[in-house]
């Protein structure tokens, strides 16, 4: 599934947020150098002044609390180490159960794909600062989607065209056609470029190519491009 844009932020899909046995829980997979949304499940109804806090994983920053709903006030700490939602009078007595609270996290560009980031902590405190619930969030460093720079979409091709693009350095790249057959595979170079040529000839006619990158247990897909392969026997 492709990432969704929420409040202008790329949100890469992760496991759904859910309250597990009364604990707070949230999860997200975010590519290096990107922002993504951790959606946190709340607990039961709360009085005004009750606060949900997410403390950011080590090395990351909270950059926004994009929920705009009556009864909840979102804030981000000046240093980006945490974000909060506080219940106002409009939400008094409403259940937090079933509602999710989005926190935008920024992951540094040098984060290693596949890494599970540590120290993402969740808690709910009452108006007096007494803890009412706690939990953790699972934030995994994802992989930016590879790109396909060659061939160009719509340009007639021979049966074994060079296919090229960019990806995270060291990622294993597999190119597949519209029938999910592997066209070719290679590994991205240290500068992020990659190229491969199909072994078996691509079938003549209209086709579609997509690159999939894999690294350290995480993966990402490129956009698809439409191609047209010439019939090798045409004109003979």
Task: Tokens 């989005």: give the residue.
Answer: 102
pLDDT score, position 17: 42
129 within some domain:
yes
- Assess contact for 36 and 102: CB atoms under 8 A: no
Burial 195-212 (b: 16+ CB within 10 A, else e): ebebeeebeeeebebbbb
How does strand 156-157 pair with strand 225-229? parallel
User: Looking at the 3D structure of the chain, how many domains does it have?
Assistant: 2
The CA-CA-CA angle for residues 98, 135, 96, to 5°, reads: 25
Q: Both 35 and 66 in a single domain? A: yes
Q: Which domain holds residue 15?
A: 4-141
Sign for the CA dihedral angle at 53, 57, 60, 66 comes to negative
Q: For residue 98, with 0-12 CB atoms within 10 Å meaning exposed, 13-18 middle and 19 or more buried, which class applies?
A: exposed
Q: Both 112 and 67 in a single domain? A: yes
216: domain CATH number?
2.60.40.10
Q: What is the pTM of this model?
A: 0.80
Task: Tokens 């808690």: give the residue.
Answer: 123
Residue pLDDT, tens place only, 49-105: 889 999 999 999 999 999 988 888 999 999 999 999 998 876 555 555 567 899 999
Q: Both 19 and 112 in a single domain? A: yes
Q: Both 79 and 183 in a single domain? A: no
203, two tokens: 């079938």
Q: Both 197 and 117 in a single domain? A: no
pLDDT score, position 15: 41
215 within some domain:
yes
235 within some domain:
no
Q: Both 121 and 219 in a single domain? A: no
Helix ranges restricted to H, the chain:
none
pLDDT score, position 232: 64
Q: Both 18 and 128 in a single domain? A: yes
> Measured between alpha carbons, how far is 132 from 42 in angstroms, rounded to an integer?
11
93: domain CATH number?
2.60.40
Q: Both 128 and 206 in a single domain? A: no
> Measured between alpha carbons, how far is 131 from 215 in angstroms, rounded to an integer?
39
74, two tokens: 């979102």
Task: Tokens 């597990």: give the residue.
Answer: 20
82 within some domain:
yes
> Measured between alpha carbons, how far is 60 from 69 in angstroms, rounded to an integer?
26
Query: Which residues neighbour 8 within 8 Å (Cβ) at sequence distance 6 or greater?
Result: none
Residue pLDDT, tens place only, 103-121: 999 999 999 999 999 999 9
Q: Both 113 and 157 in a single domain? A: no
Calculate what percentage of the chain has a pLDDT beyond 70. 83
90 within some domain:
yes
Burial 52-80 (b: 16+ CB within 10 A, else e): bbbbbbeebbbbbbbbeeebbebebeeee
pLDDT band at residue 44 under the 50/70/90 scheme: low
Q: Both 123 and 198 in a single domain? A: no
Question: In Å, what is the CA distance from 203 to each residue of 28, 114, 196, 227, 233?
Answer: 39, 35, 17, 11, 12
Q: In the listed set 141, 158, 190, which residue is the last one of a domain according to the structure?
A: 141
The rounded mean pLDDT for the chain is: 85
């Amino acid at each position: 599934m492709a990432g969704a844009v929420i409040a202008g932020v790329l949100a890469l899909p992760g496991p759904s947020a859910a309250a597990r046995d009364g604990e707070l829980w949230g999860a997200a997979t975010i590519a290096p150098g990107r922002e993504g949304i951790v959606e946190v499940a709340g607990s039961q109804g709360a009085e005004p002044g009750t606060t949900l806090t997410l403390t950011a994983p080590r090395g990351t920053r909270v950059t926004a609390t994009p929920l705009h709903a009556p009864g909840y006030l979102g804030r981000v700490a000046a240093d980006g180490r945490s974000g909060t939602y506080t219940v106002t009078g409009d939400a008094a007595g409403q259940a937090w159960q079933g509602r999710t609270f989005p926190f935008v996290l920024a992951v540094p560009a040098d984060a290693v794909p596949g890494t599970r980031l540590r120290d993402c902590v969740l808690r709910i405190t009452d108006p007096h600062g007494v803890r009412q619930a706690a939990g953790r969030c699972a934030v995994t460093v994802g992989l930016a989607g590879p790109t396909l720079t060659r061939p160009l979409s719509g340009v007639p091709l021979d049966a074994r065209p060079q296919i090229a693009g960019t990806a995270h350095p060291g990622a294993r790249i597999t190119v597949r056609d519209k029938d999910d057959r592997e066209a070719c595979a290679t590994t991205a170079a240290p500068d992020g470029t990659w190229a491969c040529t199909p072994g078996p000839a691509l079938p003549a006619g209209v086709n579609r190519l997509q690159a999939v990158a894999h690294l350290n247990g995480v993966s990402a897909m490129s956009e698809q491009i439409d191609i047209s392969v010439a019939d090798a026997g045409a004109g003979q």
